[in-house]
Structure 1
Amino acid sequence: MNWKSGIVMEEFLWISSLMAVSLVCWWTDSSRLDLVRNISEIEGGDYGRPGLSHVTVASSLRDGFDEVEVWLQTFGPGTRTPIHRHACEEVFVVLKGGGTLYLAAASSSDDRPGTPVGFPIGSNTTFRIPVNDVHQVWNTDEEQDLQFVVVISRPPVKVYTYQDWNTKHAEAKLMFPYHWDRNFFTP
């Protein structure tokens, strides 16, 4: 096994572990969540972002999850996330389509993200976002949707958005509760 296979296997095992934890949480607290759900019956939306389809499959606020949250997101051609960061880990499993992950390391000594590194992503790939690393995901395919499952730790997520890659960290705008959590959030 070469080092790339080892990393892929490690990512797979990490994702499998998170999914197992999610299933155990579902199983042990069935009073809050049906054991089996049809994703097409779970309310979702574009949340004011044309080209986005977001479904929260398992939610901290709606379903009582403490450790993880699971999303299904579809980005139409050209759709992208805002440039943002959050104090949680995030793992993506790409189901279809292609795009680019832009990532600026949080360890940068500068007071702003700076120039990101672009990583190609596509069907059957997985990637993770380290805690507080500024990032953005783009569907760069002109014809096909980009669809992925996202698992985040420590929900509900507090998102800091940036106007551009040169926005100072101190000037990033806090978005909390985030768009898809607003219907379930009670201060």
Structure 2
Amino acid sequence: MKMAFQLIFFTFFFTALIFSSLPSNYAHSHYPIDIGPAMVRNLDKEFQDSNTIPGISHITVAGAVLHGFNEIEVWMETAAPGGSTPVHRHACEEVFVVLKGSGTLYVASNASDSDGGKVFPGRPETMHFSVNSTFHVAPDVVHQVLNTDPHQDLHLLVVVSKPPIKVMMYEDWTTPHNEAQLMNPFVWDARYVVADQTSSAQEI
């Protein structure tokens, strides 16, 4: 019961951050943004989300909700020293390219642990990576990425399939699978859904 309450609180916490950090210039546009059949864009001018997940900065380079992509989604992510993604899983394939820094990928073992009939990820396997590494995560594998370098940021290029992404969030590796919380839309997409709904309401 306590764990379920904490997961619910975690979900509402992210939702509150989305509303509080929504840029004013994003609250008056419809999504997806029409970027045409081809377009060169400067990533320095793209919105960078540095508030939603502590220690993680995110840019949606090519997204389903934001840009109308159907087959893949591309992100640029920066993890500060000690920064990490939540423990989570999703039904899409995910590929990482390490542009700078080093860290650790934690993945659930092939066989989940059980306790009193509850099945949970259990103690994860660890895989260390560094600059110029690439790694992938298969669909529905519980995982977490951590920047283990105490001195420099971790820069990642991330590609996911089947956008928009829907994420099952775990409090930790002992959270039962049936108590993981669905985040749909996920935090990177939710701000644009909120902005589009706000813009539509203002026009009525």
Q: Same fold (TM over 0.5)?
A: yes
The yes-or-no answer on 1:102 pairing with 2:102 is: no
Q: CA deviation at 1:105?
A: 4.1
The yes-or-no answer on 1:32 pairing with 2:39 is: no
The answer (yes or no) to whether the contact 2:109–2:122 under 8 Å persists in 1 is: no
Distance in 1, Cα, partners of 2:189 & 2:160: 14
User: Which residue does 2:64 correspond to in 1?
Assistant: 60
The yes-or-no answer on 1:116 pairing with 2:131 is: no
State the superposition RMSD in angstroms: 1.9
Distance in 2, Cα, partners of 1:84 & 1:99: 17
User: Which residue does 1:18 correspond to in 2?
Assistant: none
1:16-65 superposed Cα distances (whole Å, 9 cap, x missing partner): xxxxxxxxxxxxxx953451011111112123323211000001111110
The yes-or-no answer on 1:138 pairing with 2:138 is: no
User: Which protein is bigger by CA-based radius of gyration?
Assistant: 2
User: Which residue does 1:126 correspond to in 2?
Assistant: 134
Indicate how the Cα distance of structure 1 residues 89 and 105 shifts in structure 2: closer, same or farther if over 3 A, else same: farther
User: Which residue does 2:19 correspond to in 1?
Assistant: none
TM-score norm. by structure 2 comes to 0.73
**Number of equivalent positions:** 158
Identity, % of aligned pairs? Answer: 48
Counterpart selection for 1:148 from 147, 156, 163? 156
1:148-181 superposed Cα distances (whole Å, 9 cap, x missing partner): 1000000111111111101100000111111110
User: Which residue does 1:180 correspond to in 2?
Assistant: 188
Q: CA deviation at 1:106?
A: 5.9
Distance in 1, Cα, partners of 2:158 & 2:73: 8
Specify which structure has the bigger relative contact order, considering alpha-carbon pairs within 8 angstroms and separated by 6 or more residues: 2
Q: CA deviation at 1:183?
A: 2.5
Q: Secondary structure at the match of 2:164?
A: coil
Q: CA deviation at 1:120?
A: 0.3
Q: Mean alpha-carbon deviation: is it higher for 103-112 or for 147-156? A: 103-112
What runs of 5+ residues in structure 1 fail to find an aligned partner?
1-29
What runs of 5+ residues in structure 2 fail to find an aligned partner?
1-32, 198-204
AA partner of residue 60 (structure 1)? A
Distance in 1, Cα, partners of 2:91 & 2:183: 13
Distance in 1, Cα, partners of 2:48 & 2:107: 27
Q: CA deviation at 1:109?
A: 7.1
Distance in 1, Cα, partners of 2:39 & 2:128: 35
Distance in 2, Cα, partners of 1:74 & 1:152: 16
